Amino acid sequence: MLPSDEYFRVSHFFTGEGVPTGAAVVYCVRNTGILDLAGVAAVAHDRFNDEITPWLCEDVTMGETLCKQGPDDTGPSVLVSAPTATGTEPDPSSPPGTAALVTKGTASGGRRGRGRMYLPGLADAVVEDGGTLQTAFLGNLQGGVQAWHDELDTAGIPLHLEHGPATEWVLVNGQPRRIPVAGSVPAPSPVLSVSVATQTATQRRRNRR
């Protein structure tokens, strides 16, 4: 959740043959006061496009970036529309729903101190049998993700990890389910590390219908 106006949720939207029903990458940044809302959106769009999209497949395009300022219920938003053909990796891309998994680490331990981000548009040629990424490509993508993380920090909008309400297991109609518990939601945590997994991830349940 975005608890105050210093936090922004950034959403990059992708289209193209490699993502026939669309795809999105979503993350949170904290504005240290250097940029206004439009500036945060423009910088986020450009930094992601410069450092990460070159390693994605040619048949996907990052078309728009939506930047939402907190708090969730009242904050304004702005849309950057600057379609850019993605990457230099030759098509075809991997099957829709296949993504590179980026793990976000914070100073907090445990499950709530870690986050994930999924990058769509992987070229089929860089995914080996068993769903592992080629070693050379993994190094290139890791370098791009690290440069993106560092450049957001330099621009005054460091990457943060959003938190939802705490939950607990309860029985609902005889079935165990997690439900939110009362209490304040922690402010987003600074992301100190970003790491690309060697194994690809699938996001079938996030595909648009």
Question: Does pTM surpass 0.85?
Answer: yes
pLDDT of residue 67: 97
Contacts 24+ apart (CB under 8 A), 150-155: 151/47, 151/50, 151/51, 152/29, 152/43, 152/44, 152/47, 155/34, 155/35, 155/43, 155/47
Q: Which residues are CB-contacts of 154 (< 8 A; sequence separation ≥ 6)?
A: none
One digit per residue, the tens of pLDDT, for the chain of length 209 reads 888 899 999 999 999 888 888 999 999 999 998 899 999 999 999 999 999 999 999 888 898 999 999 988 889 999 999 876 667 677 778 888 889 999 999 998 767 778 999 999 999 999 998 899 999 999 999 999 999 999 999 999 999 999 876 666 777 787 888 776 666 777 899 999 999 999 998 865 444 43
